[in-house]
Structure 1
């Protein structure tokens, strides 16, 4: 039993860490003064809010520090099956303490991906770096998903070679909008993805966009929009989108527009996929959005070029460039609550440590 400092989703606090039936568990209790203290601090497994699992070797996630991912564009049948498979692996990972500390691979972390597809979404991009060094310890990964992109007839990404078969639905009218939303909801989607890319083809009219938003709302599903092109981020916010799949990078939003977004729309960062003017614009927008109290969520567009299948150091550096550091940076990663017995527990060297230094906590940490 050890005293431990942990991140509860908002800030740092103290608790008690103990080994119970071979599992590391954190209790929300005040430790005695004479209890030995864990060297370092504990956080729950991280979240990437924008991935494309059909475009990467998703099995590598089991040995990363990500414990949850949100797929924002895939064949709904494929990603639903993958989500179920990774959930089925959860009991094996969680109940096999040796799997967390040896080279055993009960979660399939060393398997070849069943559906790997390489491509670029917004190419060309810059700021590429080395992949996250994989850890040998396997852990469960929760997969949430939107299913297919909903796009106008001929809209993005219907003409893209990288788009896997079945990963988009061309929506021509209100009836098709309702059917597409129902299909994704029935597949198990936790959100709906809309493409509103005026730089790459047609976008929905206001009325048809509202029809999708209404259909999604009736199912209790938020709508995440890929907004690209002059005025698109502002338009979809006005129409009621809950989240942008990318921090705005097409143009600089003025302070009044930033204030509107900060009050009503969350932004998934994906800053590091850009270079040049788009990168500078995204950083400036996020800097002011965060300062205005807007919600920024860590997301990488994993699969967009040679991105790491794990935590992306380039994205974290871009977020820091946008003024997000310390506890606010950890909050963008939406770590699991480490007090939840189902959470993946990670160890950091200290409260100010770079998140890429996190590694899975093991019983050996209590013997040091």
Structure 2
């Protein structure tokens, strides 16, 4: 057993970690004075808030520092089973449960790297002919073209019944038609009736401001089409969160996006780590270029850790990561193993 410092998702805490009957257990309790201290600190697996699992070899996520991913555009028939399998895991890696000898399949899980938990939006909702309905990269069944409120209600019910945790709406004025105000607002209300927020892909002048005004609660990309003025930044900081996806950009788009994120963060807004994994040759796992861009946007160690939204490591199914120190480069995090708990 070791005394250990861990991040519970909100703050740093002290506890005890060790292997008990083959189980890796993290307990939130005072450590005896004579107990040796773990060399490093513990965090739960990080969250990538914007991925496309149908566009990558998602099996490669096993053993990565990601403990949770949010798929923002996929065929629900394909992505929902991935979420079900992740949520049905019975991992003994962390928690405060019983310490009786584990089953043989549990021991197998201890030896096998875990896939991250999966949340998903299901298919993109877009106007007829809207983005990304004409894109070759969009898998079959990953887009629903919505002509009216009745079609929106049907599509939202389909995503909700499949287990979606949010609804993805495309509002890309650079690549085709976008929903009018009335239909966009109706989609927000229909989603809310199922307990779901709308995450919007907003692209084109004024679109980030418009979809926010109409009720979207999250932007799938930090705005990169234009520099928002200070009043617009204040309004965004008060009402929505932004998923970063900075590293997919270059040139002027990157400069604009980083500047917008810097000012949103300074205004107290919420910035979430997300990579648009699958958009081009992005890493399957933690993206060091995204971390670097967020630092360029002014996020310090604490803010960057919050943006990564690590799972509480006391959660029974949590991926446990070991960092050299609280202020260490987060790209140095690696999955905690039994070898780390040996004197």
TM-score by length of 1: 0.87
Q: In structure 2, how many angstroms separate the alpha carbons of the residues matched to 1:92 and 1:9? A: 19
Unaligned residue ranges in structure 2 (runs of 5+): 94-104
Structure 2 counterpart of 1:128: none
Corresponding position: 1:152 with 2:127: yes
Structure 2 counterpart of 1:356: 331
* Cα offsets for 1:76-108 (capped at 9, x unmatched): 1111122223445x237866345545xxx5xxx
TM-score by length of 2: 0.94
Structure 2 counterpart of 1:366: 341
Contact 2:228 2:260 in 1 (8 A): yes
Structure 1 counterpart of 2:41: 41
Contact 1:87 1:141 in 2 (8 A): no
Contact 2:42 2:321 in 1 (8 A): yes
Q: In structure 1, how many angstroms separate the alpha carbons of the residues matched to 2:142 and 2:235? A: 31
Structure 2 counterpart of 1:338: 313
1:365 CA drift (Å):
1.3
Q: SS at 2:254's partner residue?
A: helix
Corresponding position: 1:205 with 2:180: yes
Q: Do the aligned partners of residues 158 and 357 (structure 1) sit closer, same or farther apart at CA in structure 2, a change above 3 Å counting?
A: same
Q: In structure 1, how many angstroms separate the alpha carbons of the residues matched to 2:21 and 2:245? A: 40
1:208 CA drift (Å):
0.3
Q: SS at 2:242's partner residue?
A: strand
Q: In structure 2, how many angstroms separate the alpha carbons of the residues matched to 1:4 and 1:18? A: 10
Equivalenced residues, count: 332
Match of 2:301 among 312, 323, 326: 326
Q: In structure 2, how many angstroms separate the alpha carbons of the residues matched to 1:171 and 1:267? A: 25
- The 10-residue stretch of structure 1 (38-47 or 7-16) with the greater mean CA deviation from structure 2: 7-16
1:46 CA drift (Å):
0.8
Structure 2 counterpart of 1:91: 90
Matches within 5 A, 1:256-335: 256-335=231-310
Unaligned residue ranges in structure 1 (runs of 5+): 106-137
1:28 CA drift (Å):
1.3
Q: CA RMSD in A?
A: 1.4
Q: SS at 1:19's partner residue?
A: strand
Q: Do the aligned partners of residues 283 and 30 (structure 1) sit closer, same or farther apart at CA in structure 2, a change above 3 Å counting?
A: same
